[in-house]
């Protein structure tokens, strides 16, 4: 599990005048994955390593190799939008086993 702090969308608060965006921020799953990958590899990791990790992560999600669980909600699409508040828990679940080339049966 990777715990990610969700950034506030101050631009949305300022332009709409709505305090609702200060309480909850809509983010795409791929943006949350970027925050989770950055958290996992560290803030001081080189940008090219982050970029390679993101490409692999988004390709695996698109291929259906795993699903992402964000605060108990499962997502298989990087373009899905999630309402987030404060911080979220991001977990990755592999859909099929890869150990020794065996596939796990549900």
How many C-beta neighbours within 10 Å does residue 92 have? 17
Model pLDDT, residue 104: 46
**pTM attached to this predicted model:** 0.77
Angle (deg, nearest 10), helices 29-41 and 47-63: 130
Most distant pair of Cα atoms in the chain: their distance: 55
* Ramachandran class of 49: left when φ > 0, alpha when ψ lies in -120 to 50, beta otherwise: alpha
Q: What tens-digit pLDDT sequence spans the chain (106 residues)?
A: 999 988 776 766 677 666 666 677 888 999 999 999 999 999 999 999 999 999 999 999 999 999 999 999 999 999 999 988 888 999 999 876 555 555 544 4
Sketch the domain layout of the chain as residue ranges.
2-98
Cα separations (Å) of 63 from 75, 76, 77, 94? Answer: 13, 9, 10, 12
Is-contact 76 61, C-beta < 8 A?
Answer: yes
């Amino acid at each position: 599990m990777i715990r990610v702090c969700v950034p506030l969308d101050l631009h949305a608060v300022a332009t709409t005048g709505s305090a609702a965006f200060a309480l909850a921020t809509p983010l795409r799953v791929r943006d949350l994955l970027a925050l989770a990958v950055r958290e996992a590899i560290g803030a001081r990791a080189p940008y090219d390593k982050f970029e390679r990790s993101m490409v692999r992560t988004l390709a695996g999600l698109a291929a259906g190799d795993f699903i992402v669980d964000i605060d108990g909600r499962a997502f298989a699409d990087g373009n899905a939008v999630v309402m987030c508040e404060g911080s979220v828990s991001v977990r990755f679940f592999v859909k099929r086993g890869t150990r020794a080339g065996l596939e796990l049966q549900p």
